[in-house]
């Protein structure tokens, strides 16, 4: 039996083709890796440039200098002293209540000498009531109800009393309610009569009692009525 022999040169041709294909694959791999490394390098360069630009565009804030504690305390003390300084007041009424706090709920004493007192602190309470703290520590008094006035050391007591008497000239009120009680005193515990005609009456004296009640003494001598509970109004 005769065996077939491959044509001469066929094996050589196949070997050449394989070598060419292998060379092409290697060349493509080289091109791929070279391109990959080039792209990575360009990407890293762009990121570094962007980061540098951001760092240059954003300035670093400078720390704010902190004053030493002594300087801060000095500034605070100076500002406090500028806001309030103790001052003198003269009491204008016969009996001025002293409260233990600025809520006006507890009377702890009375000023009955129309003397001169030092206010060391102020406080604005409800309904714009201005409270003043007595230097003695006895408590608080109301400053803006015409029961006291700021005292000038160059002003004599006679001048202060004259001012008070001028302010306390008798005046007229009109009764607004159908029945207004008349009390024998400013304690409010003894009713001696009633005003029932909604008439006009003359007040000759005022007195501030507990809970800032303003009492008015009737010219007739019948007694006292309450003036600041919306039952009367100034007349004329």
pLDDT tens, residue by residue, 17-45: 777 888 888 888 888 877 777 777 776 66
Enumerate the β-bridge partners of residue 183.
191, 224
| The dihedral formed by the CA atoms of 90, 210, 213 and 205, expressed in degrees to the nearest 10 | -50
Architecture in CATH of 83-165? Roll (2.30)
Q: How is domain 170-234 classified at the CATH fold level?
A: SH3 type barrels. (2.30.30)
Quote the CA–CA distance of 210 and 205 in Å, as a whole number.
17
The C-alpha atoms of residue 29 and residue 86 are separated, in whole angstroms, by 94
Confidence (pTM)? 0.35
Residues of the chain with CATH 2.30.30: 83-165, 170-234
What residues in the chain have per-residue pLDDT under 50? 1-3, 51, 54, 71-81, 156-166
pLDDT at position 176: 94
Q: Order across the sheet with 214-218: list the strands.
A: 191-195, 180-183, 224-226, 214-218, 200-208, 171-175, 232-234
């Amino acid at each position: 039996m005769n065996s077939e022999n491959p044509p001469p040169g066929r094996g050589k041709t196949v070997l050449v083709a394989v070598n060419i294909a292998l060379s092409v694959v290697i060349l493509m791999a080289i091109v791929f890796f070279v391109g990959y490394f080039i792209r990575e390098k360009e990407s890293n360069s762009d990121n570094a440039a962007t980061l540098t630009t951001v760092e240059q565009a954003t300035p670093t804030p400078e720390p704010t200098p902190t004053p030493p504690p002594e300087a801060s305390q000095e500034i605070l003390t100076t500002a406090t002293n500028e806001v309030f300084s103790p001052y003198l007041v003269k009491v204008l009424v016969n009996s001025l209540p002293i409260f233990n706090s600025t809520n006006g709920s507890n009377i702890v004493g009375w000023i009955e000498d129309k003397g001169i007192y030092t206010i060391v602190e102020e406080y604005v309470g409800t309904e714009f009531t201005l409270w003043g703290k007595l230097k003695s520590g006895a408590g608080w008094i109301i400053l803006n109800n015409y029961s006291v006035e700021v005292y000038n050391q160059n002003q004599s007591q006679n001048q202060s009393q004259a001012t008070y008497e001028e302010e306390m000239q008798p005046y007229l009120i009109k009764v607004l309610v159908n029945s207004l009680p008349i009390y024998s005193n400013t304690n409010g515990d003894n009713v001696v009569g009633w005003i029932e005609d909604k008439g006009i009456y003359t007040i000759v004296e005022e007195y501030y009692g507990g809970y800032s009640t303003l009492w008015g003494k009737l010219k007739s001598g019948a007694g006292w009525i309450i003036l600041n509970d919306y039952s009367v109004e100034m007349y004329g």
